[in-house]
Structure 1
Amino acid sequence: MALSLTSFSSNARATSNYNYKPDEYVVVNNGLSPSGRYSIASHGEGELGYENFHIYLINARTGKKIGPLEEIEGTLDTGASAFYAKWSADSSLVSITYRVDRHVAMMIRYRIKNGRAYRITGPTKVDQLKQ
Structure 2
Amino acid sequence: MDQNRDGFIDKADLRDTFAALGRLNVKNEELDEMIKESPGPINFTVFLTMFGEKLKGTDPEETILNAFKIFDPEGKGVLKKDYVEEVLMTQAERFSKEEIEQMFTAFPPDMSGNLDYKSLVHIITHGEEKDQE
TM-score normalized by the length of structure 2: 0.26
TM-score normalized by the length of structure 1: 0.26
Structure richer in strand, relative to its length: 1
Query: Which is higher, the Rg of structure 1 or of structure 2?
Result: 2
With a CA cutoff of 8 Å and minimum separation of 6, indicate the structure with the bigger relative contact order: 2
Structure richer in helix, relative to its length: 2
